Amino acid sequence: MYSIKNMKKTKLIGLTIAMAFLAVTLIASPAMAEDGDYNLRMMATGDLHQYLVPYDYMNDEPFDAYGFSKTFTLIEEAREEFGENTLLFDTGDAIQGSMIGNYEALVEPLEMFETQAIIEAMNFAGYDAAAVGNHELQDFGLDFFDKALRGSEFPWLGANFYTMEGEYYTQPFEIFEKDIDGETVRIGVISFVPHETMSWGRTHLHGEVTIDDIIESAEHYIPMLESITDLVVVASHTGVGSTARDHADSYDAGYHLAQMDEVDAYLGGHSHSTFPSEDYADVENINVEEGTIFGKPASMPGRWGEALSIIDLKIAHENGEWDIVDFNVDLREIDEDTPEHPDIVEIASDVHDATVEYVRTPIGSTEVPVKAYFSEVKDSAVTQVVNEAQLWFAEEQLANTDYEDHPIVGVAAPFQTSTSVEGDITIGDVTDIYLYDNTVYILEMTGEGLVEFLEHSVLHFSEIDPDDPDPQVIDTLGPSFNYDVVEGIDYEIDITQPEGERITNVEYNGEPLDMDQEFAVITNDYRAGGGGDFPHTGDDAEVIFSSADANRDQIIHYIEEYGTINPEPSGNWRLKPVDTAGPVQFETHADAVEYIEEFDRVQGIEFVEETEDGALFELDLENLGWD
């Protein structure tokens, strides 16, 4: 651990203090560029999430659009172009995500001196530093992250991440010194952990560590780092918001970090987005043609090794100072023709084979197809099976307790619109249904609280004007994992109404909902901890049960218990039937076209056309549902 008692508590800024707390890395001198400037290439991956090889474990098939074994091929090519004049960073969320991470953490847990396969691959790749991401901490706890720390041959950075004793849990930043033609350039690299991680990982982190606000920490530490270095680079697990409704501050903090005068370049992540991209074309102070935020070179590499961020700087030494005289931002994406690097494939081979064998384990079957294509606009088998398993689990846990008479309701989100499970069910299929490594929480909430909770959830939808004769597309204004549906009460969603007035006709047991009645609400640690900023969660949550048991495991146990399940959607919620002057449309996964052609039980949905990202459908709000 690294002491912060002076650095955090005082305003002292200086080389002597800083050097007491970090190691300096020396990098070999590069060749001179043709125009007399010196080139520095910075590369970054991010949100690797243990996707070591191009394989989709949920669908049990190869998938060429991601995988670190391909990304490393791009890294080697980029290094060859610049010789030794490169730095390689990761912007966080490396050790959790794919089924490999689950296998090493839960199925066959790593022994004391073992480390994650992704860390072995990153060591081989020669990373210079890595940012601590939220998923490093929140899913499997600090012991799992400590294994990564011990096994890493590079420093992990987190300037706002502390022990309860007031010490850095990891290094706050790193200074790299480069000797160029007799002159030394000092590159300070700093990172921050999403402060919401304390809520998202409440079970593992409370009472163990603290994580301060990103912007407040940056305003203290970045000027200090700038005073003792020539260049300041933020390589951090935070992104740049591009949607109308960002679901957490840390997803947008990179936008604020880049505008700090002291910051020379920004490398980010967390949002799983790539930058530069046209997604950010309309965001103020962003230039996607040049790859800049507030004029600073910036890049984000997406997720799962799909791309490599590259920022090239031309720097010149004049009057005793280094200046950036030009730069270039490049985002290099892998594709089906990108070869896998054999050394990474070899590192991953044993755990990959074991993981594939695990996800193929059969546990039961389903009588109805479990498809998520329309799960945001109508009750579906995806959220039904999750909630049935959760209600089954909650009944067992609350039996013979003070809460056994509380009506139980289940809360579930459609994590991805691509989910598709039919017939036999394997472990991998359950991972497709329940994507994340959440753990079980049960909250106490009144009927009024449930309505407020649902009103917040349906902020997910744009408002539809019923008098508009032109086609209107129901836009979704945030990620689907922040759109919860509730099983156990009946309700309608009126998307023609403004925020706060959309949940109508709420009933429990066929009667109007009693706003004072107390319910037991089973959800997950992310939601209970405040993820998505839902009311009656986070610090306002009334927790009556929590467990380290994974929500996904409850689904597995539920299916194993019954063998064959029938998650027929109960139809307890729907979009309210309203008359509209023009068509109401919804865009979803392209596979939905074949689904509605083959599965004739889907009502009120008609294919319109294919789109760049999927397919567009027209919804008949008065007949939307199942036969």
Chain segment 502-537, per-residue pLDDT in tens: 999 999 999 999 999 999 999 998 999 888 899 999
Question: What is residue 575's predicted lDDT score, i.e. its pLDDT?
Answer: 95
Question: What is residue 37's predicted lDDT score, i.e. its pLDDT?
Answer: 53
DSSP state at residue 65: T
Whole-angstrom Cα distance, residue 133 to residue 145? 10
Type of residue numbered 316: A
Checking 624-627 for CB contacts under 8 A at 24+ apart, the result is 624/377, 624/378, 624/574, 624/575, 624/577, 625/378, 625/379, 625/571, 625/574, 626/568, 626/569, 626/571, 626/601, 626/602, 627/600, 627/601, 627/603
pTM of the model: 0.78
DSSP state at residue 378: B
Which pairing describes strands 518-524 and 408-412: parallel, antiparallel, or unpaired? parallel
The candidate with the shortest Cα–Cα distance to 159, out of 192, 198, 205, is 192
Question: What is residue 313's predicted lDDT score, i.e. its pLDDT?
Answer: 92
Model confidence over 556-603: pLDDT tens digits? 999 999 999 999 999 999 999 999 999 999 999 999 999 888 876 678
Two structure tokens written together for 593: 């076209």
For residue 270, how many C-alpha atoms fall within 13 Å in the half-sphere facing its CB? 30
Does the structure show a pLDDT above 50 at 290?
Answer: yes
pLDDT band at 549 (very low <50, low <70, confident <90, very high): confident
Q: Are 284 and 295 in contact (CB under 8 A)?
A: no
Question: What is residue 531's predicted lDDT score, i.e. its pLDDT?
Answer: 87
Question: What is residue 519's predicted lDDT score, i.e. its pLDDT?
Answer: 97
Type of residue numbered 452: E
Phi, psi dihedrals of residue 555, rounded to the nearest 5°: -65, -45
Question: What is residue 83's predicted lDDT score, i.e. its pLDDT?
Answer: 72
Q: Are 490 and 447 in contact (CB under 8 A)?
A: no
Whole-angstrom Cα distance, residue 588 to residue 579? 23
Whole-angstrom Cα distance, residue 573 to residue 453? 15
Q: Are 183 and 224 in contact (CB under 8 A)?
A: no
Does the structure show a pLDDT above 60 at 31?
Answer: no
DSSP state at residue 460: G
State the helix-helix crossing angle for 68-82 and 342-359, rounded to 10 degrees.
Answer: 170
Model confidence over 108-125: pLDDT tens digits? 999 888 999 999 999 999
pLDDT band at 625 (very low <50, low <70, confident <90, very high): low
Model confidence over 601-616: pLDDT tens digits? 678 899 999 998 899 9
Model confidence over 173-188: pLDDT tens digits? 999 998 766 788 999 9
CA 177 to chain centre: 33
Which pairing describes strands 129-131 and 156-157: parallel, antiparallel, or unpaired? parallel
Model confidence over 53-76: pLDDT tens digits? 999 887 788 988 999 999 999 999
Does the structure show a pLDDT above 90 at 138?
Answer: no
Model confidence over 493-504: pLDDT tens digits? 999 999 999 999
167-171, 429-433, 516-520, 545-549: range with lowest mean pLDDT: 545-549
| Alpha helix segments (H runs only) across 7-129 | 15-19, 68-82, 99-102, 117-125
Sorted by sequence, the CB contacts under 8 Å of residue 477 that are 6+ apart come out as: 243, 244, 245, 459, 460, 461, 462
Question: What is residue 10's predicted lDDT score, i.e. its pLDDT?
Answer: 33
Question: What is residue 25's predicted lDDT score, i.e. its pLDDT?
Answer: 42
The candidate with the shortest Cα–Cα distance to 193, out of 266, 115, 272, 91, is 91
Q: Are 506 and 405 in contact (CB under 8 A)?
A: no
Question: What is residue 200's predicted lDDT score, i.e. its pLDDT?
Answer: 81
Average per-residue pLDDT in the chain?
88
Residue 219 burial (C-beta neighbours within 10 Å; 0-12, 13-18, 19+)? middle
Question: What is residue 2's predicted lDDT score, i.e. its pLDDT?
Answer: 33
Does the structure show a pLDDT above 80 at 324?
Answer: yes
